[in-house]
Structure 1
Amino acid sequence: MSEKYQFFCVPNTERKEFTYLNMSSSSFIEEKKALLQQGFEVEDDVIYAENPEEAVKKFRSNYVYHLEEYNASTNIFYTLLHAFQWLKGKLTGKS
């Protein structure tokens, strides 16, 4: 099941200095406030991922995954491709 992650960057570091929070955490709001007070800024939109490693990978891809998701939602070929890739990952244990 996918979880939502929000990423925060130090300004003017070209996304190299960042951290993230799992938005389903009970302490999300407090942690977000603390990061903003430390000078971090919210970066990009929410990222849906199965785990933190996948979220970081998507964040570092810098919008490539947004294009993949858009293609999957608007084109039946990409929808089927995505479904088969997901199924293959589940069957082989590789996500």
Structure 2
Amino acid sequence: MKYQFFIKPNTDRKAYTFLRSDSETFLKEKQQLIDQGFEVDGDYIHAESDKEAIDKFLSGFIYSLEEYNAANPVTALVMSVTHLLKSSFKRNKK
């Protein structure tokens, strides 16, 4: 799922909210937030749940760096192999 986060200016990202971009009312709600003084903060965040999206948002630039690195084919390959190895080790422990 893709999430878009909005912040109130001059709050050090403490006043924030988010919308799921696949919502039927996404554009309407986005406009309402902008009308209330919120600003779009960064790019979309890809996450499996609201909690994961919030965690990524609160992590700041770390998420952006991970996304950038994943865009590089070599890095993506290394990350995929690492993920597969971690998954297989977890299954073997059970």
TM-score (norm 2): 0.79
User: 2:19 is aligned with what amino acid?
Assistant: L
RMSD between superposed Cα atoms in Å? 2.2
Higher strand content, 1 or 2: 1
**Aligned pair partner of 2:71 in 61, 70, 73:** 73
User: 2:49 is aligned with what amino acid?
Assistant: N
Deviation (angstroms), 1:8: 0.5
Counting aligned pairs with the same residue, the percent is 45
CA radius of gyration, larger in: 2
Unmatched 5+ stretches in structure 1: none
Distance between the aligned counterparts of 2:23 and 2:73, measured in 1?
A: 34
Distance between the aligned counterparts of 2:26 and 2:70, measured in 1?
A: 30
Distance between the aligned counterparts of 1:73 and 1:29, measured in 2?
A: 27
Deviation (angstroms), 1:51: 1.1
The answer to whether structure 1 residue 35 and structure 2 residue 33 are counterparts is yes
TM-score (norm 1): 0.79
Deviation (angstroms), 1:71: 1.9
